[in-house]
Amino acid sequence: MSQTIDPTVVAQVTALAEKARVASRRLALMSRAEKDAALLLLADALDAAAPTVVEANAEDIERGRAAGMSESLQDRLRLDEARVAAVAQALRDVAALPDPVGEIVRGSTLPNGLQIRQVRVPMGVIGMIYEARPNVTVDAAGLALKSGNAVLLRGGSAAASSNHALVQAMRDSLAAQGLPVDAITLLEEGGRDAARALMTARGYVDLVIPRGGADLIQTVVRESTVPVIETGVGVCHVYIDRAADLDKAQAITLNAKTHRPSVCNAAESLLVHRAVAADFLPKALTDLAGAGVRLHVAPEVTAYAEAAGAAYALASEQDFGTEWHGLEMSVAVVDDLDEAMDRIRRYGTGHTEAIVTEDRAAARRFTAEVDAAAVMVNASTRFTDGGEFGFGAEIGISTQKLHARGPMALPELTTTKWIVEGDGHVR
């Protein structure tokens, strides 16, 4: 680390993390029935606190507006009564999910009679570092509680008032239930140093999950000494193979780019096999232009972009590795599957990569050789999602290889413990 962290802040965060650890020991022993009951009461508490939360949120919005926050960021930050009801409902949905804790992952009786089993147990204390999205505050608290973990929340300062109101309502409910309030803790002081103290609270915090833009995630990965799960940056490709069904290709391309362009599983780059470029590009680029997508094109695509009436520019090298977060897309023609996979290796971020093809051999090579959290055949990149995968909840999408890869839900917030039972066994 290049800078030192204010020791007062380190002491504050450490003290909060110690309290969270004490709380976590109680949480680890709660039965599923107890945790589900607690989640339902937390949800009721949020519903009851809705007026307070909305008022606190209005302060954040007002502060944001005065500071020139963009409309789209204001929208992500805004909590009206309906949105508070939705976050409360999310806690009820988490209560309905199976409890990962106690699951026996594997086990056996050894030749010497020792009985061994590997059992899922909570991590302990989880740190979340995220941007000004108050719904993440409640989602993370609910998923942590359900998986038996205490959580330390460090949300974006632009949502400070909203987060305070949400966490206060949840902590008041925990207290009323006779549960440890330190199960859910908001780091409200210390500015950036609080986040940095959280990432270096080794021995106090078991896992840090950053959620947000590439800068936030890279900072956490670089500075953290606590284990981190990297989430989210997605430069996802759709590759239209020479053996593609072009109707499917057209639908998948449009959906992958425009269904929700701001999220990490949206497609950012379109690769088209030379053999089908003349058939496919006029239709696909007309679709994209019609949806308002601005194109960043390789030289040989310019004529198609022009003919489709698209807004376009010649793509720079950098454009092909850009996560646009909006209605923009890079487009290139490739000579073959190998060139497509080479480009994916060079520009992709290991999130989601899709091939559209009716050729089994091409699909088999693509799924075997492309190194990403999710590899799609004839499906939109938008399906890489905990909800779509049937997990019922998602705390982020891991793009790293350690511990969790792809959508992370409750099991990914647990670790395991070996329990070994003998009868006086020695070696």
Report the nearest approach of a second copy to the CB of residue 161 (Å): 33
| Residue indicated by tokens 């909305």 | 54
Strand 396-398 with 150-154, pairing = unpaired
Applying CB under 8 A, the span of 5-13, 114-122, 189-197, 271-279 interacting with a second copy comes to 114-122
Is the CB of 135 or the CB of 255 nearer to a second copy?
255
Backbone angles phi, psi at 415, to 5 degrees: -120, -165
Residue 177 is a binding residue for a second copy (CB under 8 A)? no
Q: How far apart are CA 419 and CA 193, in angstroms?
A: 39
Site for a second copy in 19-48 (CB under 8 A): 25, 28-29
Binding residue for a second copy, selected from 37, 251, 275, 327, defined by CB under 8 A: 251
Report the nearest approach of a second copy to the CB of residue 405 (Å): 5
Report the nearest approach of a second copy to the CB of residue 16 (Å): 19
Report the nearest approach of a second copy to the CB of residue 299 (Å): 29
What is the distance, to the nearest Å, from the Cα of residue 76 to the centroid of all Cα atoms in its chain? 15
Residue 124 is a binding residue for a second copy (CB under 8 A)? yes
Is the Cα dihedral 60, 61, 66, 71 positive or negative? Answer: positive
Burial 252-283 (b: 16+ CB within 10 A, else e): bbbbbbbeebeebbbbbbbbbbeebbeebbeb
Task: Provide the residue type at 144 as one letter.
Answer: A
| Residue indicated by tokens 């994209």 | 288
Residue 374 is a binding residue for a second copy (CB under 8 A)? yes
Other C-beta atoms closer than 10 Å to the C-beta of 177 total: 15
Query: For residue 384, what are its two tokens?
Result: 């890489």
Residue 346 is a binding residue for a second copy (CB under 8 A)? no
SS3 category, 367: helix
Residue 373 is a binding residue for a second copy (CB under 8 A)? yes
Using CB under 8 A as the binding criterion, the count of chain residues that bind a second copy stands at 69
Residue 96 is a binding residue for a second copy (CB under 8 A)? no
Binding residue for a second copy, selected from 55, 62, 300, 369, defined by CB under 8 A: 369
Q: How far apart are CA 70 and CA 208, in angstroms?
A: 28
Residue 378 is a binding residue for a second copy (CB under 8 A)? yes
Give the residues lining the site for a second copy (CB under 8 A). Answer: 1, 25, 28-29, 108, 110, 114, 116, 118, 121, 123-124, 202, 206-207, 221-222, 225, 227-229, 245, 247-248, 251-252, 254-256, 259, 363, 367-369, 371-380, 382-384, 388-390, 400-403, 405-406, 415-427
